């Protein structure tokens, strides 16, 4: 077994991970930072974010306004102290990224441009054409190359966190190109591994979004927070699930049902105007728009396609010039994958699973209840997004909480002793477990079969609308899949870049997380934001103005507890759009 050591270990090389690594390197250049990622950092899923990143920067806007939009957008589940810190630091982080070279789109006078976005009362979304995540990730990656103190372990697949003496002291990972198992000890670990959208059948998420870090933390005893809140993005392409950015709507696109009718007006989202009105109609929050689609579907007013029902997104009235300037990637994607030119034709879209509001429970400094373990980005839940995330809040979240987690992990690490030998023997045990998995003969289940059954079960039982019955059925199916999981058959026995082994491990992570999602959805007997229960259709602040905390139980259903929401200045109110 190969042993390496560092002071702060960042797992995941996306926006949050790279920002955290740079934050550690800047906070304390004497610390050795390592970034472990199962893909090269520029392949991380941050790269596919399109629309933009919100931060208060224009006159006429205020931190309180951004905070209120975020809190009400999250249906009063966000922790308000964390939101206040978030909106305060977002402009600084975004400016910092600009200073690192990020090519933000500009106004004619050379200042950074902002645009409207769903659920926001004021225009505050910074953007880089419609490839904001791409530009942010590449800026962060290229900037990180400057820091000699950051050591990267590219294409190393983390399989287990090392916990000893009550604190997290490193992890075990497979170095994919050789198959060697590495034990990397550290004095603090920051998980930045993203969400787990691949537990669902239709998703905007890439293949790599399997919730690795969430599952590792969960298995190490850290609780997951708010797992029942899954965001469905209203406009994904049918079949591929490819994301069509919210910016298409914020620039003025309409959502039309099969009769060419702007159906959102029937769902308390305002009256249709020719130009986009903030916090109204197509610029409403994502959960309400996705729910409207399901209602239209029930009424038989959606179109039927070979890959499911869909509605139309109409941007023809925006004109070719605007589309090429502000939405060029949307045009490219539609032409390529749907053979449709948005300048002249309607785009077929449907809600697809997109973002996990839930994740590893952290405080506003990125610290989990397990000392030495931190988390930031989509894999963490602080929570600033609550029951529904507003578009363009997740990219600044990566920067703000990546930096905060980096700084607090650096400070923690500087105060710790170096990991002892107990941790190395744990690592050796894990190596043996992996070798056994690789060498196991027999087995009759195929990975793809179990994975597809899991995804279909999640889509049916824990989709946009849930009931006690659908969730219980989902739990039962997932339970049976978990029993079949040890019986997996592997075709690939090679040590060199064995992607079948990693797919099997990823499936294991996803099954655990799927069960956590269903368990917390069963626990929350109310409807709030993106968690809608037809058997409990109202929001219940008396009983459920709290987060769900889901703990793993060996050989039993996950245990769910409540964690009260932190309310500072905005008492729970009615969530109003379009009025």
Helices of type H across 364-498: 394-414, 421-439, 447-461, 468-484
Which 8-state DSSP code applies to residue 429? Answer: H
Among 1, 2, 260, 469, binds another protein (CB under 8 A): 2
Is 233 annotated in the active site?
yes
Distance of CA 392 to the CA centre of its chain: 12
Among 63, 81, 96, 268, binds another protein (CB under 8 A): 96
CB of 117 to another protein, least distance (A): 20
Contact 572, 541 (CB under 8 A): yes
Number of residues that bind another protein (CB under 8 A): 64
Catalytically annotated residue among 138, 233, 533, 547: 233
Between CA 88 and CA 505 the distance in angstroms is 39
Residues 301-339 as b or e (16 or more Cβ within 10 Å = b): bbbeeeeebbbbbbbbebeeeebeebbebbbebbeeebe
497 scored as a contact of another protein (CB under 8 A): yes
CB of 344 to another protein, least distance (A): 21
496 scored as a contact of another protein (CB under 8 A): yes
- Residues 55-94 touching another protein, rule: CB under 8 A, are 92
Is 249 annotated in the active site?
yes
CB of 29 to another protein, least distance (A): 17
Helices of type H across 161-298: 212-219, 247-250, 286-298
Nearer to another protein, 115 or 131 (CB): 131
Distances (CA, A) of 480 to 453, 472, 473, 498: 11, 12, 11, 27
Contact 140, 97 (CB under 8 A): yes
Between CA 486 and CA 441 the distance in angstroms is 12
Catalytically annotated residue among 249, 350, 407, 524: 249
- Residues 145-164 touching another protein, rule: CB under 8 A, are 145-146, 152-154
Between CA 301 and CA 297 the distance in angstroms is 6
Stretch that binds another protein, among 172-180, 189-197, 373-381, 459-467 (CB under 8 A): 172-180
CB of 261 to another protein, least distance (A): 28
336 scored as a contact of another protein (CB under 8 A): yes
What DSSP string runs through 350-379? EEEEEEES-EEE--TTSB-SSTTEEE-GGG
SS3 505: helix
Among 242, 335, 545, 562, binds another protein (CB under 8 A): 242
112 scored as a contact of another protein (CB under 8 A): yes
Between CA 234 and CA 237 the distance in angstroms is 10
Site string for another protein, 9-48 (x = CB under 8 A): ------------------------------xx-xxxx-xx
Phi first, then psi, for residue 39 (nearest 5°) are -130, 165
401 scored as a contact of another protein (CB under 8 A): no
Nearer to another protein, 58 or 301 (CB): 58
Nearer to another protein, 84 or 338 (CB): 338
Distances (CA, A) of 425 to 153, 159, 162, 178: 21, 15, 10, 22
For the CA atoms of 402, 405, 407, 408, the dihedral, rounded to the nearest 10 degrees, stands at 170
Among 68, 76, 86, 104, binds another protein (CB under 8 A): 104
446 scored as a contact of another protein (CB under 8 A): yes
The footprint of another protein (CB under 8 A) covers 2, 39-40, 42-45, 47-48, 92, 95-96, 98-101, 103-106, 108-112, 131, 134-135, 138, 142-143, 145-146, 152-154, 175, 177-178, 180, 206-208, 239-240, 242-243, 333, 336-337, 446-448, 490-500
As annotated, the active-site residues are 233, 249
């Amino acid at each position: 077994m190969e042993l390496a050591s560092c002071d702060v270990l960042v797992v995941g090389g996306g926006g949050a991970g790279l920002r955290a690594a740079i934050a550690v390197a800047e906070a304390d250049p004497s610390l050795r930072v390592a970034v472990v990622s199962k893909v090269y950092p520029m392949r991380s899923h941050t790269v596919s974010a399109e629309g933009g990143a919100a931060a208060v920067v224009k006159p006429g806007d205020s931190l309180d306004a951004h905070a209120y939009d975020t809190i009400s957008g999250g249906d009063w589940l966000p922790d308000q102290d964390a939101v206040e810190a978030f909106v305060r630091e977002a402009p600084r982080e975004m400016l910092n990224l600009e200073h690192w070279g990020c090519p933000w789109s500009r106004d004619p006078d050379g200042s950074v441009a902002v645009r409207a976005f769903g659920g926001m009362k004021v225009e505050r979304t910074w953007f880089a054409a419609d490839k904001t995540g791409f530009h942010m990730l590449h800026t962060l990656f290229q900037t990180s190359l400057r820091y000699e103190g950051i050591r990267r372990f590219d294409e190393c697949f983390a399989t287990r966190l090392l916990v000893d003496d009550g604190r997290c002291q490193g992890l075990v990972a497979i170095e994919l190109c050789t198959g060697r198992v590495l034990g990397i000890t550290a004095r603090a670990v920051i998980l930045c591994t993203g969400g787990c959208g691949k537990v669902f059948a239709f998703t905007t998420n890439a293949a790599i979004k399997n919730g690795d870090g969430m599952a590792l933390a969960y298995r190490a005893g850290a609780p997951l927070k708010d797992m029942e809140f899954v965001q469905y993005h209203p406009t994904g392409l049918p079949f591929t699930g490819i994301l069509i950015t919210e910016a298409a709507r914020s620039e003025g696109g309409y959502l039309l049902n099969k009769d060419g009718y702007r159906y959102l007006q029937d769902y308390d989202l305002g009256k249709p105007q020719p130009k986009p009105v903030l916090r109204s109609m197509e610029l409403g929050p994502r959960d309400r728009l996705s729910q409207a689609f399901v209602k239209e579907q029930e009424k038989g007013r959606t179109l039927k396609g070979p890959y499911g029902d869909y509605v139309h997104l109409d941007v023809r009235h925006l004109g070719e010039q605007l589309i090429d300037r502000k939405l060029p990637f949307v045009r490219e994607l539609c032409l390529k994958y749907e053979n449709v030119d948005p300048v002249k034709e309607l785009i077929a879209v449907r809600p697809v699973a997109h973002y996990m509001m839930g994740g590893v429970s952290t405080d506003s400094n990125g610290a989990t209840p397990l000392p030495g373990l931190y988390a930031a980005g989509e894999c963490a839940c602080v929570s600033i997004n609550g029951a529904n995330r507003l578009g363009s809040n997740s990219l600044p979240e990566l920067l703000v909480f990546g930096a905060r987690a980096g700084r607090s992990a650096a400070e923690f690490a500087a105060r710790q002793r170096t990991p002892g030998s107990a941790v190395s023997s744990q690592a050796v045990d894990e190596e043996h477990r992996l070798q056994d998995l690789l060498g196991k003969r027999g087995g009759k289940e195929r990975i793809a079969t179990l994975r597809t059954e899991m995804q279909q079960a999640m889509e049916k039982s824990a989709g946009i609308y849930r009931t006690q019955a659908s969730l219980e059925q989902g739990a039962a199916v997932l339970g049976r899949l978990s029993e079949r999981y040890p019986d997996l058959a592997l075709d690939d026995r090679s040590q060199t870049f064995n992607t079948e082994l990693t797919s099997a491990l990823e499936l294991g992570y996803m099954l655990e997380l799927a069960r956590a999602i269903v368990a917390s959805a069963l626990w929350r007997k109310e409807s709030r934001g993106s968690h809608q229960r037809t058997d409990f259709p109202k929001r219940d602040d008396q009983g459920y103005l709290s987060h769900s905390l889901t703990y793993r139980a060996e050989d039993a259903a996950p245990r769910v507890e409540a964690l009260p929401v932190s309310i500072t200045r905005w008492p729970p109110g009615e969530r109003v759009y379009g009025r």
